[in-house]
């Protein structure tokens, strides 16, 4: 069985491969990744020489390269993680998001359609698993949760391109009978996350006593999911999910951003001997993100009820593990904080007005 995993050098994709390459010796995993800014080959060191794994250094926008790979190593399952994934980058430069998230997804669907169809039907056992986000549903007010039936209402260019890719996947199901599954998960955190996202950015800034840039008043709410729980859920959907269905994945773990940052100050103080007061004083309120969604919350009852999946990690233990991972993996951190990373920090934060 050939399993194509796109974006396997990124945060969630690498955690997926680290779990399933050793666990599934009979599956042959091809990691299709263009090795962009968020990729870190160090994440994949433990499996780099595994007999059932290889890296294909390919941009999913390059259809000819995907076609050559499909002839050489035809996919049975495609697990599609590859994306431009950072909301702030989509605000400053949306084009790359349309290219990778919409056109790249389209290219993979075309590969599946061309190679999986025998006449009008699809060869048995093929599955296109599309990894998506709760951001396609837009923002919630103070109450309620997103279900699989919630209306699509994306706010950022990132969210709009993920919504478009979800629609394309469903359209291929309806029009061509392509067997697909979609998972929409809430905010992930954990080891190997590129330090542009809230939690790893705050951890590294705390370790270096740099200001902690909090957008607006820090009152926006995110619903946090430990990456290993997410990976576990994707494995369960691949194994037991139904074609043509989507599943929301979340851990019922809503927190205000300000409370997440305060918790990180406490944990980093405990591990480094710094005083909590010194770390809390680094909090800096800055100009808000345009179109900033107020609140996300996932109703994960469908995947729990139908497939028996449940998250295992509590937010407190997950945050603790995450902080320890960044402290213990300086080589990984140094490898991603190149000149391009520093340019991003300047582009996104240099222009933001301080509110206090």
Contact criterion met (CB below 8 Å) for 179 and 244: yes
292 CB-contact burial (10 Å; exposed 0-12 / middle 13-18 / buried 19+): middle
Say which residues have a Cβ less than 8 Å from residue 277's Cβ, sequence separation at least 6: none
Q: Give 166 or 279: the residue with its C-beta nearer to ligand NAD.
A: 166
Write the burial class of residue 266 (CB in 10 Å: 0-12 exposed, 13-18 middle, 19+ buried).
middle
The nearer residue to ligand TDX, 179 or 195, going by C-beta atoms, is: 195
Nearest distance from residue 354's CB to ligand NAD, in Å?
27
Per-residue binding string, ligand TDX, 82-121, x by CB under 6 A, is ---xxx----------------------------------
Tokens 């035809």, located at residue: 74
**Alpha helices (H) in the chain, listed in sequence order:** 11-23, 63-72, 87-92, 95-97, 105-116, 157-176, 198-207, 227-240, 257-272, 276-280, 301-307, 315-328, 330-336, 339-349
Which of 80, 130, 181, 222 forms a contact with ligand TDX (CB under 6 A)? Answer: 222
Angle (CA) 184-189-190 rounded to 5° is: 130
Smallest gap from Cβ 37 to ligand NAD, in A, equals: 7
Rank residues 129 and 222 by Cβ distance to ligand TDX and give the closer one.
222
Helix axes 257-272, 198-207, angle to 10 degrees: 40
Tell whether residue 18 is a contact of ligand NAD (CB under 6 A): no
Residue with smaller CB distance to ligand NAD, 126 or 222: 222
Contact 105, 180 (CB under 8 A): no
Indicate whether 184 belongs to the interface with ligand TDX (CB under 6 A): no
Site for ligand NAD in 47-106 (CB under 6 A): 59-61, 81-85, 100, 104
- Euclidean distance between CA atoms 227 and 203, whole angstroms: 17
Contact string 168-207 vs ligand NAD (x = CB under 6 A):
-----------------x-xx-----x-------------
**Residue list 123-182, contact with ligand TDX (CB under 6 A):** 133, 135
DSSP single-letter state for residue 147: -
Taking contact as CB under 6 A, which single stretch among the options 13-21, 29-37, 91-99, 193-201 is the one that binds ligand TDX? Answer: 193-201
| 214 touches ligand TDX by CB under 6 A | yes
Q: Which does 257 bind (CB under 5 to 8 A by kind): ligand NAD, ligand TDX, none?
A: ligand TDX
Distance CA 100, CA 118 (A): 28
Q: Does 79 help bind ligand TDX (rule: CB under 6 A)?
A: no
CA–CA dist 229, 332 (Å, integer): 22
324, 316 in Cβ contact below 8 A? no
Strand partners, 5: 31, 79
Q: Which of 4, 33, 127, 156 binds ligand NAD (CB under 6 A)?
A: 33
Q: Does 201 bind ligand TDX (CB under 6 A)?
A: yes
Residues binding ligand TDX: what is the number (CB under 6 A)? 16
Q: Could you list the active site residues? A: 134-135, 158
Question: Which parts of this chain interact with ligand TDX (CB under 6 A)?
Answer: 85-87, 133, 135, 187, 197-198, 201, 213-215, 220, 222, 257, 289
Question: Which parts of this chain interact with ligand NAD (CB under 6 A)?
Answer: 7, 9-13, 33-36, 38-39, 59-61, 81-85, 100, 104, 131, 133, 162, 185, 187-188, 194
């Amino acid at each position: 069985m050939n399993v194509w995993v796109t974006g396997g050098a990124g945060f969630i994709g690498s955690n997926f491969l680290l779990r399933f390459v050793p666990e599934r010796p009979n599956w042959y995993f091809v990691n299709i990744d263009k090795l962009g800014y968020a990729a870190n080959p160090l994440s994949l060191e433990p499996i780099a020489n595994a007999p059932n794994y290889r890296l294909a250094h390919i941009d999913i926008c390059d259809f000819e390269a995907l076609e050559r790979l499909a002839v050489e190593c035809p996919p049975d399952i495609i697990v599609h993680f590859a994306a431009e994934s950072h909301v702030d980058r989509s605000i400053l430069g949306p084009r790359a998001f349309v290219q990778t998230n919409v056109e790249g997804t389209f290219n993979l669907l075309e590969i599946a359609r061309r190679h999986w169809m025998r006449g009008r039907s699809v060869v048995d056992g093929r599955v296109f698993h599309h990894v998506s986000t709760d951001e396609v549903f837009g923002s919630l007010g103070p109450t309620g949760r997103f279900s699989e039936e919630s209306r699509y209402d994306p706010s950022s260019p990132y969210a709009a391109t993920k919504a478009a890719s979800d629609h394309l996947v469903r359209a291929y199901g309806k029009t061509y009978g392509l067997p697909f599954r979609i998972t929409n998960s809430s905010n992930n955190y954990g080891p190997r996350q590129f330090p542009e996202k809230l939690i790893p950015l705050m951890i590294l800034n705390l370790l270096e006593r740099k200001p902690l840039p909090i957008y607006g008043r820090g009152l926006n709410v995110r619903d946090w999911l430990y990456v290993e729980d997410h990976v576990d859920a994707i494995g369960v959907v691949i194994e037991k999910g139904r074609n043509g269905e989507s599943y929301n994945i979340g851990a019922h773990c809503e927190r205000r951003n300000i409370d997440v940052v305060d918790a990180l100050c406490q944990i980093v103080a405990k591990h480094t001997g710094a005083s909590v007061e010194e770390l809390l004083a680094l909090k800096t309120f800055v100009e808000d993100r345009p179109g900033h969604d107020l609140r996300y919350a996932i109703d994960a009852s469908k995947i729990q009820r139908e497939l028996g999946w449940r998250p295992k990690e509590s937010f407190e233990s997950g945050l603790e593990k995450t902080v320890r991972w960044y402290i213990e993996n300086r080589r990984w951190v140094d490898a991603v904080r190149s000149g391009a990373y520093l340019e991003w920090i300047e582009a996104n934060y240099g222009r933001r007005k301080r509110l206090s």
